[in-house]
Amino acid sequence: MALKQVQTTCPYCGAGCQIMFTVDADANKIVEAVPADGRTNEGTLCLKGHYGWDYLNDPQILTKRLRKPMIRKGGKKSPLVEVSWDEAISYVAEKLTEIKGKYGPDSIMGTGSARGAGNEANYLMQKFMRACIGTNNVDHCARI
Amino acid sequence: MIVAIDQNLCTGCRECAQVCPVCAIEGEQGKPQVIQTERCVMCGQCIQKCKSYVSLLDHGNDAYDRIRKERNLPDSVQEPLFAAYSVCSLDKVRTALKDGCTFTVVQCAPAVRVAIGEEFGEELGTLTPGKLAAALRKLGFDRVYDTNFPADVTIMEEGTELIDRVNKGGVLPMFTSCCPAWVKFLENNYPELKDHLSSAKSPQQIGGAIFKTYGAELDQRKASEIYSVSVMPCTCKAYECDRPEMKDSGYRDVDAAITTRELAWLIKEAQIDWNALREEEFDQPFGMYTGAGAIFGVTGGVMEAAIRTGYELVTGESIPQVDVTSVRGTEGFRTALIEVGDLKLKVGIVTGLKHVIPVLEAVRAGTLDLHFIEVMTCPQGCVSGGGQPKLLMDTFSEEAYRARREAIFDHDRELTYRKSHENPAVKKLYEEFLEAPNSHLAHHLLHTTYCND
Amino acid sequence: MNYFVKGNPDLCIGCRTCMIGCVVVHEGKHIFEIDPDSYTFHPKLHMVKTARLSVPVQCKHCENPACMAACGVNAIYQEDHRVLIHTETCIGCKACMDACPFGAIDMVTVAGVRQKDGSEKKVANKCDLCQGVAGGPACVRVCPTQALTLVTEEELEDLAKRKRMESARSTFCEVYHCDEFSYGGRE
Amino acid sequence: MGIPEIEDAKCLLCFGYNGADSHPIVARRIVRGRQKGMKIICADPRVTETARISDIHLQLKGGSNLALVNAMANVIWKEGLADEKFIQEHTKGFDEFLKVIENYTPEYAAEISQVPAETIRQAARMYATNKPAMILYGMGVCQFSQAVDVVKGLANLALMTGNFGGPSMGIGPVRGQNNVQGACDMGALPNSYPGYQSVTDPASREKFEKAWGVPLPDKVGCPITHVPYRILQEKEERKRIHAYYIFGEDPAQSDPDLAEVREALDKCDFVIMQDIYMNKTGLHADVILPATAWGENEGVYTCADRGFQRVRKVVEPEGDLKPDWQIIAEISTAMGYPMNYKNTEEIWNELIDLCPSFTGATYEKIEKYGSVQWPCRDKSMEDKGTPYLHKDGIFATKDHKALFYGTDWHPPLEMENEEYPMSLSTVREVGHYSVRTMTGNCRTLRNLEDEPGWVQISPQDCQKLKIQKGELVKVLSKRGYCISRCLPTERVKPGAVYMTYQWWIGSCNELTIAHLDPISNTPEYKYCACRVEKIQDQEWAERHVKEMYNDIRTQMGIQPGKGARS
Amino acid sequence: MMKKELGSFVIGDGRRCTGCKACELACFMVHNQKSNHVGMTVGTVGVPVVPRLYLTRFEQGCMPIQCKHCEDAPCLNVCSKGAISRIEHQVVVDEQLCIGCKDCMQACPFGAITLLPYAKDGCLVPQSGSSETKVFAAKCDLCKDIPQGPACVNACPHQALRLVDPEAEREEKNIKAANALFYMKNW
C-alpha cells in the first residue's frame, strides 16, 4: 500500500479550510482526512470538512456519479444515450454554432460555477462566452 | 356486625381507611385492618373501595369457593370477592319466599332502580323501575311495593314536624333522620343533640310499619303472616331494621333489608334474564309515588321534597318552581335560603358524613343559624350507597354518581305527581287510616325516639 | 474515579460534528467503503438545542451509576474509569434508559440482527469514552470549536483544589485586610 | 478583513448571518472572540447560535433589515457617536444620507422591526463605542429584494464610525459557497471581466479584446435569475435565450419558483449540463458532460476573505471524465476559437496578468504561503497580499473617498395574508451543502439529516396547528407545496417558518418567490408568504415521502432498493 | 408525532404504591370488556380475575411489576409457537396461539409473565381433550386497542404507575442535562 499525503482546500462553504488527506495511491482511495493548519481553520474542521469527501467513493446514495458524456438523441424527454467525448463535443459545438447563427450570440446563456470547479474553469467559461460566443450572458449563483 | 374485613385477604393498603367517615378502620400499613365496631356506622364505603380480591395467584385455586361458602353467598356468584364485605342475609329472604304460608312484601329504595341494571351490563345510571318490579315479582314476592311511597309519607310527617318546630319554637335546626348511619353517628358521638333529629322514621321503617298495619288490613292479612323485605342501596339499613324500637306495628316493622347487590345475586341465582325482562308496575297502593319520593335517593333530595310540600302547606299556594335547584349539588356542605311566604327558611345539606362534624360542632356551640339540615352519610347520597353496585375502577365513580343522580332527576321530571302531598295514595292513607300528619296514630307508628340504650 | 466528556455551551455551535465523529470511530474507517445501508448510525451523544443553549449531552460515567443499579440482567459494569454496557447481555428492557437522569442512554438497532419474529433488535447505547481508541474520545478530537473536553479524576481534583485555594485566599485577604497570601504550604 | 481577524474585534455586528450553520469555522472565530470579551450584536429573526451568545439580540421581523440599519445610523448620529473626522476626511455624500436617516427614529424602526426602540439604541451605542467593530452579513441580508440597499446601509454604519481601514474592522459578506468569491473574481458575471473590470468600460474591454484577439460585446449580459423570463416571456427572438450552458449548477433545485424553472428548461432549445453528479437539472438537459470533481483536479479557490488557495488532486478520476476547463476549451476549439492549455497553471498565469489585483498571486506564491489574499499586485515574494482593504481609509474610488448611500426601507413584496398567514425563509442545513449532490452522497452526512428535511416552526404555532415534532406537514405557498417534518423550536418567532433548500421532497423552492433585488438580481429567498397544514393520515404521508424519494432516486440513476433508506 | 422507535412501558413506584390492587383489577376489567362481557361493576364479572401485571410485596413495601417491552425481548425470542410478537413496538402475546409451554415465563428476567386461566365469552375455555382450563401467558400489552391508554396508570389512586415514553423522556432529560452544563459554567 503506497500511502501519500495531499493537502487541499475544502470544497464546502467559503471558509477555505485546509484538509490533509492520506491516500492509498494503489487503491486510489482516501484512507484518512485530518484538519491541516490552514490560515483560516488552524487545524479544525466542521462535519463537512471531516466527512464530506465520501462522495468521491460514489456510494450511490442520492444520485449517480456521471461517468460518460450523454446526449438525448431523440430530443427533449427522450432517454439519455452515452456517447464518446468526440461526439459530445462536436454535437455541442454544432448546436451552439447553429443557434448563434440563427438568433445571435445573446441567445446563448452560460453559467460559471461557485462550487467545485475552481477559478481557472470559471475564467475559461467566461472567456468562452465572451470571446467565442460573443456575449456577456454569463453569470453564476452568487445570489442563490 | 354487618360490615367486615377478612383478615386473610386484607393487604393493608388502607385505602378503605381513607374513605371511612368515622375513622373506624385501624391497622398498620401493610397489615390486615380491623374495624372498630363501636365507631363503625356500617355505611359500607369501605366495601365499595376495597380492591383486594381473592386471587388465584395469591390465595390459590380453592380459595374462591371456600370464601364464597364462608360468606354464605349463593353458589351462582362468580364475581370477584374482596377483603371488605357485608354479611349476606339472603338465607332468611329465600326461606320466606319459599314458605307458602308467608305473605312476602318487598319495597325498594329510590336509588336501587338507577343502579341495579349496571350489575347486568347496562350503562351506568340506567333507570329501570319497570324491570325492577318485574324481577321482584318473578322472585315470588306477593306484593311489590316501593319505598318511594313511604318517602312521600316521610315528607308529610317530617314537614309537618318542621313547621311545628318553627312555629312553636321547637328545637332547631332540625336534622333529617332518613339515613341510619347518620343517626347512629349522632347517637354515638353527639347524643346531647338527639332532639335535633326529626322524630320521623326513615322511609324504610315507615313503609314497614304501614305495610303491617294499614297494608295488612287492605290485604286482609294478619300482620304476623307478613314477611317484609326491603331492597336498599345501603348496608346500614339492615342495622336499622334490627333496632329494637322498630316494631311499632306490633311486629318487626321490616324483617330483612338486602342491598342492591344482594338483589342482583338473587336475580342471577333464580336465573332470571334481566335484559329480557318486560317492564311491570309496582303494586298499589304502596307502589304509587311522586317525584318528591324519587329524589330521596340523591343528596339534597329530601330537602327539595320537603320544600315542595312545605311551601304549599305554609303558604297555601303552589310552589312557583318545582325544581329547587338551590339545594342540589354535590358539595359536602351547602346552604340555601328559601322564601316560604313570609318565612325565610334557612336550610343546609350535608353529604359525606365527615362533613357533618363541623356542622354539629356549630350546632352545639349555637352558632349555626339554620332551620333544617339534611344529612346523608354517603358521598353523594344514596345513589353512592355502600350497598350499590361496586365499580371495578374508582375512576368511574364520579361518572357513576353523576349518571345515577341524573337518572333520578329525570325520573322525577317524568312523573305525574311531583309533590308528596299530591300523592293520591298518601292522601288516601291519611283519610282512611292516619287522619292527619303527626296525628296520634301517625306518631305512634311513624315516629321514633333515639338513644334508647 | 470515572472519566467523562463534558460539553461547554459557551463554545458549542450545535454543528454535530461530534455525533458523526462518534459513529465513525465506533464503526471504523471502513465505514466509507461499505454498503451505505450496512451499518447503523447511532451517535452515543445527543445534541440538545434550546432557545438559550446548544450542547451535546452524553454519559457522565457516574460513580454510582443508576443505570447499572437498574439493570436486571447485569449488562452494565464499570471498568477502566468508565461505565460500559455489555451489549450481548442486554435485552433492551429500557430500565437503564428510564433510570438515567441525563437521557444519556438510548436503545438502538443492531445492524443485521433481528428478533425471532423478524422485528428489529435494539440494545442500550451510550458513551464508552471511545474505549480502545488511540487518542481518546473522538467527539473531543473532531469538535471544531473545542467545546468538548475529557475530564479526568486528576483534573477534577486539581480544579477543586484550586478553587479551595482561591476561596481560602479571598477569605483570608478579606478577614486580615491584607493582600499577601502564599499559595504554598501544606497540601 | 480576514477570517482570523474576527476574533480580535471589540464588537461584532452579525447581520442576517448564521455562521454556525453556514460556516462553522467562521463561527469558531466568533465564539473565540466571545471568550476574549468581544461584544456581539446579532440581528436575526431566529435565535441563532450567535444570537444565543450575543450581548444584544435584535430579533427583528423578517424583511425589516433596512429600517433597523437606518435607525442604528440615526442613533449613532443623534447621540454624537459618529467619527466626524473620518467622515470629513474619507467620505462624501453624508449630508444627503442624513436626510434619509432623519426619519428612522428607533421608535419608527421599532414599529417595523418589532425590536424595542431601546434595544436598537443600545445596539447602536455598543457598535459605535467599541472600536474596532466588525460587521459580518450573510444571506439574511442578500436574499431580500432590498439586499444591496442593506449592504450599503451596513457600510454606512462602518463609515460613520470610522470602522474601515484597520484590522478587525469593516464589513464582510460571508459568501455561502466555497468559490462564490472566485467565480466573481473570475468574471463569471454579466457586467464584469475578471478582476472586477467593467464590460462597459472601454479601456478594460480594449485590454481584453487585445488579449483574447477578438472584439467583445459592450452590453451587460443577462443575469442568471432572468433566464426563466428570457426563455418564457421574451418576445424578441434574438433576445430570447435559446441555448443554456449550465456548468456546475442546479437551477432546477436551487433557484426560486421551481415550477417556472422547470418550464423554462423544457422550453429552452438546447440545454447543456456540465457536472459531476446527475441532478434535477440533468432531467431537463439535452447534453450531459461529465466533469472531474473536487479532489480529482487541480486549481485555485478564493475563500470568503479573498484568499486564493490551491486545490489539489487527491485521487485519480474514474470513468470517462475531463476537467471542466478542458471540456470548455475543447468546445471552444471545436467552435473555431482555439483554446490550448496544458494545465490550470497556464490558465492562471494568463488571467492574473489581465487582472492587476491578482497579478502577484502566482501559483508559486500560493504554494509557499498557503493562502494569498488579493489585492496582490506584485509578483515579488514580498507582496504577500492584503489582509484588509481600504487601509488608512483609502478607498478604491477615483478620489479615494467612500460614498454614503441612503435609501428608504420598503416592505418585502409578498406579505402574509389570510390564505398564507406565515412567512417562509430559506436557511441552511449545516451538514449539507448547496443542492446536496455532494454531501447527500456522503454516508454519514446523509445519516445526520435526510429527506424530507425539517420545517422550523415556533412551539406556539405547532400548538395552534396541532402538529408535533417529527410529524410530516404540508407547506404551501401561492406557487406550490412540499412536504417536510415539523421541528418545533423556541428559536423562531411565532408566524415565521424556516426551511432548508436542499431537499427534493421538502423542496422549499417550490414555494419561494422569484422576486429580485433590482441591482444584485438576488431572489427574495428570505421572505414569502406560506401556510403550514397538518396531514391527518401520517401513515400515508410517510409512505408517500418514501415513494417520492425512491422515484427521484431512480430518475437519478440509482437502482431501486439500493443505497440510502429514506 | 416523531416516528416512534421504542416500545413504551409502565413502571411502578414502590414509594407511592399502597398495594391496593386497583391496577390489577383495572387491568383485568379493560382486557375483559369485549371478550368476557365485563361491564363497569363487579357484578358483571363471571370469570376469575386475571391481571396482566402483578402486585408484588416485599419487606419494605410493594409495587406492581409488569412487562418492559424489551427491545430484544427474551420471551419473544424463546417462544416456539410464534405466539409472542412485536406489534407497533409493543411485545404482545397471542392468547389463542399460546400453548402454555412456560418458556417465556422462564425467559423473562422480571417475572412479568405468568400462566393464568383463559376465558372467552364469559366462560373459562377448556383444553381440547381435557376438562382442565386452558391457560395463557398473561403479560402487559400496554392496553393495546384500549382507548385512554394503560388502565393501571389511570386507576392508581396514588400515581404510583407511570407510562414511560422512553424516547420523549430521554429528550427531556437531555435538555435538563444540557441546562445543568449551562449553569455549571467553567469557573
User: How far apart, in whole angstroms, are the C-alpha atoms of residue B358 and residue D451?
Assistant: 68
Instruction: Give me the pLDDT at residue C166, please.
Output: 81
Q: What is the band of A59 on the pLDDT scale with cuts at 50, 70, 90?
A: confident
Residues 6+ apart with CB under 8 A from D95: none
* Same-domain status, C141 and C159: no
Full residue range of the structural domain in which residue E178 is found: 9-184
Lowest mean pLDDT among B50-59, D233-242, D314-323: D233-242
The nearest alpha carbon in chain E to B263 belongs to E43
Give the distance, in angstroms, between the CA of residue B448 and the centroid of all CA atoms in the same chain.
17
Question: What is the structure's pLDDT at B20?
Answer: 96
D180-379 CATH choice from 3.40.50.740, 3.30.230.10, 3.40.30.10, 3.20.10.10? 3.40.50.740
Closest partner residue to A119 among D221, D222, D300, by Cβ?
D300
With CB atoms and an 8 Å threshold, state whether B393 touches E25. yes
Mean pLDDT score of chain E: 92
Q: Are residues C93 and C116 in the same domain?
A: yes
Kindly state whether residues C104 and C168 are assigned to the same domain.
Answer: no
pLDDT value of residue E1: 44
Q: Cα D217 from chain centroid?
A: 28
Specify the length of chain C in residues.
187
Residue D247, classed as helix, strand or coil, is: strand
Give contacts of A109 with chain D, Cβ < 8 Å.
222, 224, 227, 230, 241, 243-245
**φ and ψ of E126, to 5 deg:** -80, 155
The reply to whether residue C16 touches residue A47, judged by beta carbons under 8 angstroms, is: yes
Instruction: Measure the CA–CA gap between D329 and A128, rounded to whole angstroms.
Output: 8
Residues C93 and C169 in one domain: no
CATH number at residue E57: 3.30.70.20
Query: DSSP assignment, residue D165?
Result: S
Cell output for D509 = 423552492
d(CA C48, CA C12): 10
- What's the domain range around C162? 153-187
Taking the CA of residue E74 and the nearest CA in chain D, the distance in Å comes to: 28
- Min CA distance, A82 vs chain C (Å)? 27
B in contact with D (at least 3 C-beta pairs within 8 A): no
Residues 6+ apart with CB under 8 A from E38: B392, E28, E29, E32, E44, E45, E47
Residue C186 has pLDDT above 80, yes or no: no
Beta carbons of D222 and A109 less than 8 angstroms apart = yes
Half-sphere exposure of residue D49: CA atoms within 13 angstroms, side-chain side:
28
pLDDT of residue E131: 84
User: D488 CA to chain C: closest CA distance, Å?
Assistant: 10
Looking at residue D554, its pLDDT comes to 87
Indicate whether C89 and C162 sit together in one domain. no
What crossing angle do the helices spanning B203-210 and B148-168 adopt, rounded to 10°? 110
Mean pLDDT, residues D342-357 taken together: 93
CB proximity under 8 Å: A 84-123 to D: 85, 88-93, 95-97, 99, 102-123
What length is written for chain B? 453
Measured distance CA(C39)–CA(A59) in Å, rounded: 13
**D250-265 pLDDT per residue, tens:** 888 887 788 888 999 9
Return d(Cα D217, Cα A105) in angstroms, integer. 9
Q: Look at E149 and B218; give whichever has higher pLDDT.
A: B218
What pairing do the DSSP bridges indicate for beta strands D91-92 and D197-198? unpaired
Mean pLDDT of B138-155: 96
Residue type, position D175, single letter:
R
Size of interface A-D (CB pairs under 8 A): 510
**Domain identity same for C144 and C106:** yes
- Please tell me the distance in Å from D21's CA to the nearest CA on chain C: 7
Tell me how close the Cα of A87 comes to any Cα of chain D, in angstroms: 11
Span D306-335, average pLDDT: 94
* Per-residue model confidence (pLDDT) at position D286: 95
pLDDT at D514 over 80: no
Q: How does residue B344 score in pLDDT terms, banded at 50, 70 and 90?
A: very high
Reported as a pLDDT band with limits 50, 70 and 90, residue E186 is: low
- Measure CB to CB from residue E18 to each of B15, B78, B123 and give the nearest one: B15
Instruction: Answer left, alpha or beta for residue D336, where phi above 0 means left and psi between -120 and 50 means alpha.
Output: left
**pLDDT at residue B136, rounded to an integer:** 97
CATH code of the region D422-555: 2.40.40.20
Among residues D153, B80, D454, which one has the least CA distance to residue E46? B80
- Chain D residue with the nearest C-alpha to that of A97: D335
For D378-421, strand residue ranges (E) read 402-403
E3 assigned to some structural domain: no
With CA atoms as reference, the chain C residue closest to E184 would be C8
Nearest to C32 among A46, A49, A54 (CB): A54
* Residue carrying C-alpha cell 418564457: D232
E130 or E152, greater pLDDT: E152
Task: Supply angle C-alpha D244, D261, D518, rounded to 5.
Answer: 90
Sequence-ordered list of residues with C-beta below 8 angstroms from that of D255, at least 6 positions apart, any chain: A141, A144, D225, D228, D261, D509, D514, D523
Q: Can you list the domains of chain B with their CATH numbers?
A: 3-86 (3.30.70.20)
A29 vs C: CB within 8 A: yes
* A71 touching chain D per CB within 8 A: yes
| Phi-psi sector, E57: left (phi>0), alpha (psi -120 to 50), beta | beta
Integer Cα distance of D115 and D43 in angstroms? 10
Are C50 and C120 within one domain?
yes
In a domain, E1, yes or no: no
Q: What is the DSSP letter of B22?
A: T
Contact D328/A129 with Cβ under 8 angstroms?
no
Contacts of E84 in chain C (CB under 8 A): 117
Which chain A residues touch C17 with a CB distance below 8 Å?
Answer: 45-47, 50
What pLDDT shows up at residue B293? 95
Please give the Cα distance from E80 to E99 (Å, whole number).
10
pLDDT band at D224 (very low <50, low <70, confident <90, very high): confident
The top-level CATH class assigned to D3-174 is alpha beta
Contacts of A94 (CB under 8 A, 6+ apart): none
Has residue D393 got a pLDDT over 80? no
ipTM of the assembly? 0.80
Checking C27-36 for CB contacts under 8 A at 24+ apart, the result is: C29/A31, C29/A32, C31/D443, C31/D444, C32/A30, C32/A54, C32/A57, C32/D443, C33/A29, C33/A57, C36/A59, C36/A60, C36/A61, C36/D443, C36/D446, C36/D563, C36/D564
* DSSP three-state, residue E53: coil
| Chain A environment of C148 (Cβ under 8 Å) | none
- Apex D512 CA angle, D506 and D518, nearest 5: 150
Q: Nearest Cα to D257, choosing from D285, D286, D229, D287? A: D229
Answer whether residue C180 shows pLDDT above 90.
no
Taken as a whole, chain E contains a residue count of 187
Q: What is the pLDDT of residue B127?
A: 97
Q: How do D270-275 and E123-124 pair as beta strands? A: unpaired
Spell B234-265 as b/e; 16+ CB within 10 A means b: bbbbbbbbebeebbbbebbbbbbbbbbbbbbb
Quote the pLDDT of residue D562: 57
Q: What is the pLDDT of residue C175?
A: 73
Contact E42, B79 (CB under 8 A): yes
On the question of pLDDT at D492 being above 80, the answer is yes
pLDDT for C181 beyond 70: no
| Interchain pair C50, E178: CB under 8 A | yes
C63: domain CATH number is 3.30.70.20
pLDDT value, residue C163: 82
Q: Are strands B143-146 and A80-82 parallel, antiparallel or unpaired?
A: unpaired
Q: Same domain, yes or no, for C134 and C117? A: yes
Residue E4 is assigned to a structural domain of this protein: no
Q: What one-character-per-residue DSSP string does B162-191 give?
A: HHHHHHHT-SSSEEP---HHHHHHHHHH-G
* Touch E-B: 3+ C-beta pairs under 8 A: yes
What is the pLDDT at residue C184? Answer: 62
Q: Which of B4-13, C15-24, C166-175, D185-194 has the lowest mean pLDDT?
A: C166-175
Mean pLDDT of D196-221: 92
Nearest to C36 among A31, A49, A59 (CB): A59
Higher pLDDT, D466 or E5: D466
Residue type at C126 in one-letter notation: K
- In angstroms, the CA B52 to CA D301 distance is 79
Domains of chain C: total: 2
Q: How confident is the model at residue C103 (pLDDT cuts 50, 70, 90)?
A: very high
Kindly state whether residues C98 and C162 are assigned to the same domain.
no
> Which of C24, C35, C145 to substitute to test the interface with D, most D CBs within 10 Å?
C145
Distance CA B158, CA B148 (A): 15
DSSP-based three-state secondary structure for D87? helix
Instruction: Tell me the C-alpha distance between D156 and A35, whole Å.
Output: 38
pLDDT of residue D564: 46
The 10s digit of each residue's pLDDT in D29-58 is 999 999 999 999 999 999 999 999 999 999
Q: Which of D325, D355, D435 to mutate to test the interface with A (most CBs of A within 10 A)?
A: D325
E62 touching B (Cβ < 8 Å): yes
Is residue B72 within 8 A of residue B239, CB to CB? The reply is: no
Q: What average pLDDT does the segment E17-30 reach?
A: 96
Kindly report the number of other CB atoms within 10 A of residue B68's CB atom: 19
**pLDDT band for position B392 (cuts 50, 70, 90):** very high
- Statement to judge: residues C172 and C94 lie in one domain: no
Q: Which of C17, C36, C145 sits opposite A50 (nearest CB)?
A: C17
pLDDT above 90 as % of chain B? 96
Convert the pLDDT of each residue in B74-105 to its tens digit.
999 999 999 999 999 899 999 999 998 999 99
Residue of chain B with shortest Cα separation from E63: B13
How much is the pLDDT for B96?
Answer: 95
What are the catalytic residues of B?
A: 158, 161, 178, 198, 237, 240, 245, 382
**Those residues with Cβ within 8 angstroms of residue B448's Cβ, 6 or more apart along the chain or in another chain:** B177, B199, B200, B201, B205, B245, B246, B248
Tell me whether residue D333 is exposed, middle or buried, using C-beta atoms within 10 angstroms of its C-beta: 0 to 12, 13 to 18, 19 or more: middle
Quote the mean pLDDT of chain B: 95
Rounded average pLDDT over B64-75: 95
**Inter-chain residue contact D490 with C11, CB threshold 8 Å:** no
Residue B263, pLDDT > 90, answer yes
- The rounded distance, in Å, linking the Cα atoms of B143 and D412 is 88
Question: What is the pLDDT averaged over residues C85-94?
Answer: 94
Residue spans of the domains in chain D: they are: 3-174, 180-379, 422-555
Based on the structure, what is the number of domains in chain E? 1
Residue range E60-105, pLDDT digits in tens: 889 999 999 999 999 999 998 999 999 989 999 999 899 999 999 9
B395: contact with E, CB 8 A cutoff = yes
Looking at the fold, whether C180 and C112 belong to one and the same domain comes out as: no
Domains of chain A: 3-57 (2.20.25.90), 70-101 (no CATH), 104-144 (no CATH)
Q: Does residue C139 sit in the same domain as residue C55?
A: yes
pLDDT of A144 > 50? The answer is: no
pLDDT at D565 > cutoff 60 = no
Q: What is the DSSP string of B116-134?
A: GGGGGTPPTT---HHHHHH
Q: How many CB atoms lie within 10 A of CB A75?
A: 7
CA distance readout (Å), D473 to B112, D449, D485, D506, D528? 54, 17, 6, 10, 18
What is residue D561's predicted lDDT score, i.e. its pLDDT? 61
